[in-house]
Copies of this chain bind each other. A is one copy, B any other.
């Protein structure tokens, strides 16, 4: 059976840039565009050239793609002037892009109130703008803004906009649920109506997540005939976000209901990079990845309950809707307060420790984990601290060093030039193999100073820790107020590129940080077979 082609159109760099808390730099935009092209997205909307300096600069030099088309977004010409006399339209046409996506109002109310022009003038602007872009050789799309609300209010006018866009030569007529309030069964019904005036092979969907249905709305539109889906990585976008391409792509590729009928530009072999791409975007944005995200979240294939865990290990494929590896994710059996023996055994096996199920030390480890978690420790994100805890109970962790004392000072004062400056310094006194070593260091802040002082001289172990680099430092506060407990997660990396995470918990952020630092160093010494 010949499968029909669905076009994926990414608007992370335009609609996604409207996300609260997101401010892309030029480098971010280039990086994200490269990720999207590498994945196999058909069209990448770069932004709105002329609307702000960043987008104008991004369009000044078109990125080189292996696969994707590069689209510029902008408004149709204003009513009452010709296309050639509209500077906004001209700067859009002059931008270096393969494709142009116009936004045009399709709700009669908005045309009258927001544009202040007649319904006919709006259609004429749309027609003339599309025709001009097509004449300039651009693949042209029209985002019919408020299409679904417009259809509910005045179906004839909404459909007239769609028809005009198609008639003027637009490759895609994209039906936008701009306010995000339309439900999946309504999307299906209205797209089917639209498909009577514009062929489905020219219809697209642009959904927002205001009712938690953006993905379902996109799928409903495809089932009703649309063949172009707009969305963003990780569902970025204004308010509650756009349809999440990271959720849609695996569904389109892996679920028979879609994969048997449709094909997309993302080849199946690229799907295994999806988890990494999703997390890379979060890293660029300095956001913690959503661990519950469909397909790519750290918990998407995690089992916490003890009873389930033993069954999952036996027959994973009947407990997982898709194979975690197919999207570059992995199965996790969680060590946690609810963990049964099966989870602990599985975790121990993963770190290379084989124990009999009847071994008493498993119960001791389980009790220890529960007790630590009740204090605020979280081993789910601190593999190295979990391994140290387990191996300590098994008597496998030498006391490489003992911390006798540390002190960290931060002072803010006027320097000789009269400027306010801060100085952070730390002193750490450790005992290594009977030898007492005192080191001091200055740092960018108290944790940096402590880290540098602790790693300055560990005597005979020093050579094992020369190549360490602190790559992540995260803080969580529990309960309100400064009396609260602080949890610090630290990630280190060594020269071989291996990385590991540790956790520290205390009412005092410095103590919590120090615990995590000391665990990270101990872990490295253990892994290096230091003696």
Contacts and interface: CB of A to CB of B under 8 A. Distances in A.
A64 interface: no
Contact of A424 (B378, B412, B508): B508
A247 B183 CA distance: 12
Contacts of A299: 19-20, 239-240
A371 to B, nearest CB: 12
Contact of A21 (B378, B403, B407): B378
B300 A240 contact: yes
A184 B219 contact: yes
A179 interface: yes
A55 to B, nearest CB: 11
Q: Per DSSP, are chain A's interface residues mostly helix, strand or loop, or mixed?
A: mixed
B509 A238 contact: no
A17 interface: yes
A271 to B, nearest CB: 14
Given A110-B318, A215-B211, A472-B480, A412 B511 contact: yes
Contact of A445 (B293, B305, B411, B507): B507
A317 to B, nearest CB: 10
Residue of A180, A334, A424 ringed by the most chain B CB atoms within 10 A: A424
Nearest to A109: B318
Contacts of A94: none
A387 B116 CA distance: 35
A223 B185 contact: yes
B257 A185 contact: yes
A194 interface: no
A342 interface: no
Interface stretch (A119-127, A133-141, A195-203, A446-454): A446-454
Number of copies: 2
A18 B219 contact: no
Contacts of A373: 23
Interface stretch (A350-358, A458-466, A482-490): A482-490
Contacts of A338: 17-18, 23, 52
Given A20-B291, A238-B304, A338-B18, A445 B482 contact: yes
Given A23-B338, A109-B318, A300-B240, A220 B411 contact: no
Interface stretch (A161-169, A319-327, A359-367): A319-327
A227 to B, nearest CB: 17
26 contacts: A20-B299, A21-B291, A21-B336, A23-B338, A114-B315, A179-B319, A181-B322, A211-B215, A211-B321, A212-B247, A212-B251, A235-B292, A239-B297, A240-B297, A410-B510, A424-B510, A445-B508, A445-B510, A446-B509, A446-B510, A451-B482, A471-B481, A472-B480, A473-B482, A473-B484, A475-B477
Interface of A: 17-21, 23, 52, 107, 109-110, 113-114, 146, 149, 179-186, 209-213, 215-217, 219-220, 223, 235, 238-241, 244, 247-248, 250-251, 255, 257-258, 286, 291-295, 297-305, 311, 314-315, 318-322, 334, 336-338, 373-374, 378, 380, 403-414, 422, 424, 443-448, 451, 469-484, 486, 506-511, 514
Given A114-B315, A241-B292, A445-B508, 9 more contacts: A18-B305, A20-B292, A20-B299, A23-B336, A113-B315, A410-B508, A446-B508, A447-B482, A447-B509
Report, nearest first, the 8 A-B pairs whose CB atoms are least far apart. Answer: A181-B321, A216-B216, A448-B482, A445-B508, A212-B247, A475-B475, A20-B299, A212-B215
